[in-house]
């Protein structure tokens, strides 16, 4: 049986890793992905993988948290490749939270929770930067809404 409570996040976890998360978000781009996935510049298969991962990143609207998915091996590559410096379980939890902001809240959720003036920043910024632009009260509200999902499971 899955312990869904382990998926919850708290403000301390996010605040304690604020600088790491923002650095990760700033550092993860097409060039970084190519360096992470194309280990051997002479290996055609490595470059094919790197090209595939760049396309995958673009398909996630260049949102670092959304790109952070897949296997523990991929997590490790991204964690170390972009200096996230978080343990695997915490990194996974936090990235799931940011994916929730990007894909589950939506425009209606942003308008309802924070007001129409926050829709444009939500569209423009990746989910990590958007979260840290919010006030403490707004951050707590989004965390509470996210964690409430796991209370139902």
pLDDT tens digits along 24-65:
899 888 888 888 877 656 666 777 878 888 888 887 777 888
Render the burial of 106-132: b for 16+ CB within 10 Å, e for the rest.
eeeebeeebeeebeeebeeebbbbbbe
Terminal CA-CA length for the chain: 11
pLDDT tens digits along 79-120:
767 777 788 788 888 999 999 999 899 899 999 999 999 999
Rounded CA-CA distance 69/66 in Å is 7
Instruction: Answer yes or no: is 50 within a domain.
Output: yes
Q: Which domain holds residue 45?
A: 7-151
Instruction: Answer yes or no: is 62 within a domain.
Output: yes
- Considering only CA atoms, which of 117, 94, 96 is closest in space to residue 107? 117
Instruction: Answer yes or no: is 87 within a domain.
Output: yes
Instruction: Answer yes or no: is 1 within a domain.
Output: no
Query: For residue 24, with 0-12 CB atoms within 10 Å meaning exposed, 13-18 middle and 19 or more buried, which class applies?
Result: buried
Instruction: Answer yes or no: is 99 within a domain.
Output: yes
**Single pTM value for the model:** 0.86
Instruction: Answer yes or no: is 95 within a domain.
Output: yes
Instruction: Answer yes or no: is 2 within a domain.
Output: no
Number of domains in the chain: 1
């Amino acid at each position: 049986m899955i312990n869904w409570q382990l998926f919850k996040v708290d403000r301390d976890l996010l605040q304690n890793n604020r600088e790491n998360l923002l650095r990760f978000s700033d550092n993860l781009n097409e060039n970084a992905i190519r360096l992470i996935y194309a280990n051997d510049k002479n290996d055609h298969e490595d470059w094919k993988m790197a090209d595939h991962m760049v396309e995958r990143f673009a398909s996630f609207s260049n949102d670092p948290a959304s790109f952070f998915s897949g296997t523990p091996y991929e997590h490790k590559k991204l964690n170390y490749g972009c200096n996230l410096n978080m343990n695997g379980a915490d990194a996974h939890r936090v990235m799931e939270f940011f994916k929730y902001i990007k894909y589950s809240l939506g425009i209606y959720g942003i308008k309802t929770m924070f007001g129409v003036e926050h829709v444009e920043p939500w569209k423009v910024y990746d989910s990590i930067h958007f979260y840290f632009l919010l006030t403490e009260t707004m951050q707590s509200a989004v965390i509470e809404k996210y964690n409430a999902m796991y209370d139902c499971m």
